[in-house]
Amino acid sequence: MLRVMILTIVYICVLYLLISLFWRWMCRNHYFPCPVWLIWVLDILNLSITSRESGTEKTLRRMGLSPGQIVLDVGPGAGRLLIPASKCLLPRGKVIGLEIQFEMARLLRDRAKKAGVNNFSIVLGDATKLNFRPGCFDLIYFCAVLGEISNPQKALENCRAALKTEGHLTVTDLVCSPLYLSPRTVIALAEKAGFRLSSKRGYWYFYTLNFAKLKE
């Protein structure tokens, strides 16, 4: 019995690794955002056994959201972070989800409605063509998204312009994400886009990097 269980786990891990490698390879030639039918993989990070130590709750603690902030969630997916984040911002604060896929945005809206959240809005758009008023956000976060964006450098530069002078950027990634970026890569991209690393939480396999916006 134990042998069967171990073998099943090994098969699942190998299969996941093969899918991840295929996905990375595909993304070299085509733009391929996380499909709606795969969102259950991220939902695993929302379970009570994963959330506190390796998932949603831990990421939210590391980002340091506070009530009243105006926040941008880039690539919110089905709202795994956006829904609890919007609760952390009450009263008066709000989160805007910038999502590139229409179907994903619809799923997010349905889930947020079900969760009774209303201090949020969804904008359908591409982070590389951000069209927000300059200096309108207190905090912008990316979670398991930056590697999926066709031009992450451009997306970070756009975010810099959309942040207030004292605004913060935070980037979280997990090694299980097929388009994972290492902390070193993210720091290099963010510094080039005009940010300074202010704190680093976690380890290479599940990290959150917090950045301050550099003055002109």
Ligand X SMILES: C[S@@+](CC[C@H](N)C(=O)[O-])C[C@H]1O[C@@H](n2cnc3c(N)ncnc32)[C@H](O)[C@@H]1O
Whose Cβ is closer to ligand X: residue 6's or residue 38's? 38
Q: How far is the CB of 148 from ligand X (least distance, A)?
A: 4
Binding site for ligand X (CB under 6 A): 33-34, 42, 74-77, 80-81, 98-101, 104, 126-128, 143-145, 148-149
Nearer to ligand X, 76 or 194 (CB): 76
Name which of 5 and 44 has its Cβ closer to ligand X.
44
Comparing CA positions, the residue from 122, 147, 114 lying closest to residue 34 is: 147
Q: Which is nearer to ligand X, 63 or 143 (CB)?
A: 143
CB of 63 to ligand X, least distance (A): 12
Tokens of 36: 């709606």
The token pair that represents 95 in the structure block: 């989160």
Which residue has the CB atom at the shortest distance from ligand X?
Answer: 75
State how far the alpha carbon of 20 is from the alpha carbons of 17, 27, 33, 46, in Å.
5, 11, 13, 21
- b/e code 60-71 from CB counts within 10 Å (16+ = b): bebbebeeebbb
Largest Cα span, the chain: 63
* Shortest separation between residue 197's beta carbon and ligand X, angstroms: 21
Distance CA 92, CA 50 (A): 30
Shortest spacing between CB 42 and ligand X, in angstroms: 4
